[in-house]
Amino acid sequence: MASTISLQSGTGGNDGYCNDYKINLKLDAKVLLVTAEHRLTKQLHNNEFGDEVCGEMTGGLCTTKDQLYELLQDLLANKCEIKEDKVRQTLVAEIRENNKLQLRMNVVISFGKTESRKWDVSIPLNKVQFNDIERLERIIKDLCHRIEDLEYRVVPSSQAKILKNFKFQTPIAGTFTLSGNNETCTLPSQAHREISVDQPFNDVHDRFQKISFLFNTALAGNEYIGIMQGSSTNGQSAASMQTDNAWFLRAYNGTIFSKQLQYKAYTPYIPAKQGSIVSIILDTENMYLAFAVDNECDRWAFRLPKTVKPSELYALVILYSATDTVTIIQNE
């Protein structure tokens, strides 16, 4: 089975590139393929290395392609420079006079205070020929990825349209108490239970949509706000947390959760407390999901599957402590 690693790290790069080149390593049973792509021009250089050339090329530092792969992988994962007590390793990318790109790897191992051994390894990469149209296509594709990344970093919470006329669905008897025209739910006794709203998000109106909840009581630590594909069982245990298509914010400490991701920090974040309004914000075009506390939101939390439609997604809350009370906010 082939191993592939793409690491954007290195010396001199302000966003993780090694001297303006993104390095990709692909190892299979026969060869190690090393590819370098220039950040702006998208020019590619690459070369393949088998076991038979590694020993001579590295001066005995690596005798197999697997060893060379591991060494390059470690360097790239550490911004192309590793400094330890007895070992120093660096990696740089430079263009030679023949228009070939070289990865220069320098390794120094110290023995005691006075003795050391040095390797200065040149890994040659050949220029890949593209016509102008192919290169332009690569540049456009990269720009599209960068725009998408910028969009993912910015949450236009002020543009989000708050969805109105939502109520909690009728729960299983004895699990939740509803009041205020079914806009407020209270957990009468301690148990981890979930309840969803009665309507999904909207497929056709307003790209950025928001549903907000007010925590009327203090949080104990196991309260969650989230969305799921399909409506909840309403009153049963928090079963949706173990389904593939459900995404949550743990309101007390700001971690996010999904079955695939498990728990992950979602920062910077203001923890919710009694009186806090926690909002679910959905970008219905890109299917990005974010959470805001008292209108403070810095970044998106999840990229939802493109196969999921807004009209399939229901907001829900999971409560834990007796007398936990949450109200759907219709106006802000």
- Residue 3 contacts by C-beta under 8 Å, 6 or more apart in sequence? 25, 26, 27, 28, 69
CA 276 to chain centre: 27
Predicted pLDDT of residue 327: 94
Specify the CATH number of the domain 3-131.
Answer: 2.170.210
Cα 288 to Cα 95, 156, 284: the distances in Å are 41, 11, 7
Residue type present at position 120: D
The class that CATH gives domain 154-329 is mainly beta
Please give the structure tokens belonging to residue 81. Answer: 């420079």
Coil, strand or helix at 322: coil
Question: How many alpha carbons fall within 13 Å on the CB side of residue 254?
Answer: 18
Residuewise pLDDT in 10s, the chain (332 residues): 444 433 333 333 333 467 888 899 999 999 999 999 888 888 888 999 999 999 999 999 999 999 999 999 888 888 888 888 888 899 888 887 677 899 999 999 888 777 889 999 999 999 887 766 666 777 777 777 666 666 656 676 677 888 888 999 888 888 888 999 999 999 888 888 889 999 999 987 788 899 999 999 988 888 999 999 987 666 667 778 888 889 999 888 888 989 888 888 886 567 788 899 999 999 998 899 999 888 888 788 898 988 899 999 999 999 988 889 999 998 76
Q: Is the Cα torsion angle 96, 102, 103, 107 positive or negative in sign?
A: negative
Question: Which helix (H) or strand (E) is 77 found in, with range?
Answer: helix 65-77
Closest CA to 311 of 163, 154, 159: 163
Coil, strand or helix at 153: helix
- Residues 259 and 242: beta-carbon distance below 8 Å: yes
Q: What is the DSSP letter of 117?
A: E
| Vertex 88 angle, CA 82 and 90, to 5° | 60
Closest CA to 328 of 274, 270, 279, 255: 279
Q: Specify the long-range contacts of residues 128-134, CB closer than 8 Å, at least 24 apart.
A: 128/43, 128/44, 128/45, 128/46, 130/43, 130/44
DSSP string, 247-314: EEEETTTTEEEETTTEEEE--S-----TT-EEEEEEETTTTEEEEEETTB--S--EE--TT--GGGEE
- Residue 245 contacts by C-beta under 8 Å, 6 or more apart in sequence? 228, 229, 230, 305, 308
Domain ranges of the chain: 3-131, 154-329
Distance in angstroms (rounded) separating the CA atoms of residues 278 and 319: 14
Please give the structure tokens belonging to residue 54. Answer: 């590694």
- Residues 176 and 187: beta-carbon distance below 8 Å: yes
Distance in angstroms (rounded) separating the CA atoms of residues 317 and 289: 16
**What pTM value is reported for the model?**
0.56
Predicted pLDDT of residue 191: 82
| Vertex 187 angle, CA 183 and 192, to 5° | 120
